[in-house]
Amino acid sequence: MALRRPLPRFWLIATLGCVAILCGTAYWWERQLPQRLRDAAKAGDLEACLRYGEQLAALRWLGNEAPLEQAVCRRRQAQIMWNAGDTSKALELQAQLVNSTVGTKAQQAADRKQLQDWRREVRDKAFSQFRAGDLDKALATLSILEARGQRTGAQLSDSLKETWNRNRIDHERLQERVRRRQWWEALSALNQLDHPWWQRHALPLRRQIETAIKDLRDQQSHTSHGDLPDHTVDTERLNAAVEQRIGEGMDPWSAFVAGCSDLGGVLVEEGPESLCKAKGP
């Protein structure tokens, strides 16, 4: 007679026994964690408090809320991290606190406001760095928001890069106009710059352009004295027409062209300079 093999039943019992032991151990540890969490919170051991809180959240059955002590520890640790300059960690903890929805409605509202205030401070810091001309540092600051899944941070980064590159291209165009001594076109390109750092960077060119235009106006003002051909448009009337057009919102070069046309003149290139001359008879 063949003997029955008891091995399958043995392994089944052993497996179920191990599972039961693991479940019992997890249940026992879950019962221990709340007290350990409270003790850590009372002792001010925020790292242990957060660690126990994460373990408890992982072990608790569905439907149980995050413990109040964990929220207290997150709130305190987030403030400590913020004060220490660890902006990324502070925002992470504060976001976890807000998402946990633990506490009274007033406390939850205060937590949300704190998170919004910190995010706004990060954006303001990035804008300050950007206006000072440090694009890379501004993008690095905004990356903290992007790392937290904030689409706003990515949108701001794209906007800053677009503004910087546009001003860089306008400055290159400005340099080319100055090199070619196209002063009115250069003035128009100069006025396209809308970034404080690039505007300051272009100050030497601005002084050069303003001096050149003043010389042109002085040169044209001698028309009545015979220094220039008699058919050059009267400078005072031209200046008045140009200023009027600028006041209507035109850029300086377009205003110069329109003002010349208003006075019945035509634009003539004399060497590197642009002059408004009266139409011949």
Residues 161-170: what's their mean pLDDT?
95
Query: In this predicted structure, what is the pLDDT of residue 34?
Result: 55
133 touches 197 (CB < 8 A) = yes
Distances (CA, A) of 136 to 86, 130, 146, 164, 171: 19, 8, 15, 11, 19
Query: In this predicted structure, what is the pLDDT of residue 266?
Result: 80
pLDDT per position as a tens digit, 189-236: 898 999 999 999 999 999 999 888 888 777 665 544 444 444 467 777
Query: In this predicted structure, what is the pLDDT of residue 224?
Result: 41
pLDDT per position as a tens digit, 108-161: 999 999 999 999 999 999 999 999 999 999 999 999 888 655 555 568 899 999
Q: What are phi and psi of 269, to 5 degrees?
A: -90, 115
How sure is the predictor about 240, in pLDDT bands with cuts at 50, 70 and 90? confident
Cα-Cα-Cα-Cα torsion 188, 194, 200, 206, nearest 10 degrees, comes to 10
* Strand intervals (E) in the chain: 265-270, 273-278
Instruction: Give the whole-number percent of the chain exceeding pLDDT 90.
Output: 31
Query: In this predicted structure, what is the pLDDT of residue 253?
Result: 76
- What is the distance, to the nearest Å, from the Cα of residue 68 to the centroid of all Cα atoms in its chain? 35
pLDDT surpasses 90 at 7: no
Tokens of 150: 């904030």
Residues 237-242: what's their mean pLDDT?
81
Q: Indicate yes or no: pTM above 0.75.
A: no
Nearest CA to 57 among 35, 78, 34?
Answer: 34
156 touches 123 (CB < 8 A) = yes
How sure is the predictor about 48, in pLDDT bands with cuts at 50, 70 and 90? low
**How big is the chain, counted in residues?**
281
